[in-house]
Amino acid sequence: MSAPLKETAAVPAQRSAGKTPLRPGDSRTEGVTLNVFSHGFLALWALLIVLPLLWLVLSSFKTDAQIGGSAFGWPETWSLDVFSRAWDKGIGDYFLNTVIVLVFSVPLTMLFGSMAAYVLARYRFWGNRLLYYFFVAGAMFPVFLALVPLFFMVKRLDMLNTYQGLILVYVAYSMPFTVFFMHAFFRTLPTAVYEASILDGASHTRTFFQVMLPMAKPGLLSVGIFNTLGQWNQFILPTVLMQPQSGDDPERYVLTQGLIQLQQQQGYASDLPVLFAGVTIAMIPMLVVYLSFQRQVQAGLTSATLK
């Protein structure tokens, strides 16, 4: 691969008097081979991503015997029955639990995160930097470090296996990234607008909610999507905090937890189509969010690493 490349590299110097001084004569053929080569690899990886996912969705239409028999073969029937069966078997509850938690936790995360970030970004007071680093540092530590005392903290507050407990914990653990990102965002907003608002007699609180927050919409959207995905996919925190505490304490599993629960039960009651249908149901909202906010999702998630 590298040998012919070097040859081409040497060519332009000699041919610089030709018609196309900056393009060596064989650049086109080289381009074509490289193009075929790169397309081949790119397409292969795309297939490796798509095929297992499609295969799993397809498998949910098969029967249990079919799934165990061979990896290939089409489903005999295309009945959507399995999805309603999965929904009734717990996926519906898990889905609902996740939605209930996120409906509160994401807006609260954004509200409290923005409030703290805004004050830290735009007001000078003693301990400002310290507090900022204190928030951002939380992102550095593995969550495992806190798990044991966190469990007993939530227990003491009598919030184990409750929605409000998980909501508060989600909000708290989303603070580092939210504060970090919104802090950067609020700093870029023009001071003039803020001053005009204050001069017009608006209070600080009002300026925040009616002037600054609306201006920060693009940032709120990116961070909001990031937090939605992160909290939707969270597994470790609910595993520790959302276990039924006694016999008559109902299960309040979230979706990730429930899927794993279903998977572990496969040893006893084999109903793989239901499990696969459950995964399909869990994937659909993510697919919708991803495809509709594709640009923000990619930007939001990758910017999270660039601190």
Interacting positions 194-223 with other proteins (CB under 8 A):
203-205, 208
The rounded Cα 96 to chain-centroid distance in angstroms is 19
User: Taking CB under 8 A as the rule, does residue 256 contact other proteins?
Assistant: yes
CB of residue 129 vs other proteins: minimum separation in angstroms? 14
Tell which positions 35-94 bind other proteins, by CB under 8 A: 35, 37-39, 41-42, 45-46, 48-50, 52-53, 55-56, 59, 67-72
User: Taking CB under 8 A as the rule, does residue 260 contact other proteins?
Assistant: yes
Q: Could you tell me if 36 and 26 are in contact, meaning their C-beta atoms sit under 8 angstroms apart?
A: no
Candidates 75-83, 99-107, 215-223, 285-293 — which segment interacts with other proteins by CB under 8 A?
285-293
Report the alpha-carbon distance of residue 268 to residue 262 in Å, rounded. Answer: 10
- Which of 197, 222, 257, 296 touches other proteins (CB under 8 A)? 257
User: Taking CB under 8 A as the rule, does residue 15 contact other proteins?
Assistant: no
Report the alpha-carbon distance of residue 202 to residue 194 in Å, rounded. Answer: 10
Q: Could you tell me if 135 and 176 are in contact, meaning their C-beta atoms sit under 8 angstroms apart?
A: yes
Token pair listed for 70: 């061979």
Residue 83 neighbours by CB under 8 Å, 6+ apart: 60, 277, 280, 281
Token pair listed for 122: 């735009």
Report the alpha-carbon distance of residue 251 to residue 96 in Å, rounded. Answer: 12
- Which of 96, 99, 103, 148 touches other proteins (CB under 8 A)? 148
User: Taking CB under 8 A as the rule, does residue 189 contact other proteins?
Assistant: no
User: Taking CB under 8 A as the rule, does residue 301 contact other proteins?
Assistant: yes
- Which of 103, 153, 193, 196 touches other proteins (CB under 8 A)? 153
User: Taking CB under 8 A as the rule, does residue 144 contact other proteins?
Assistant: yes
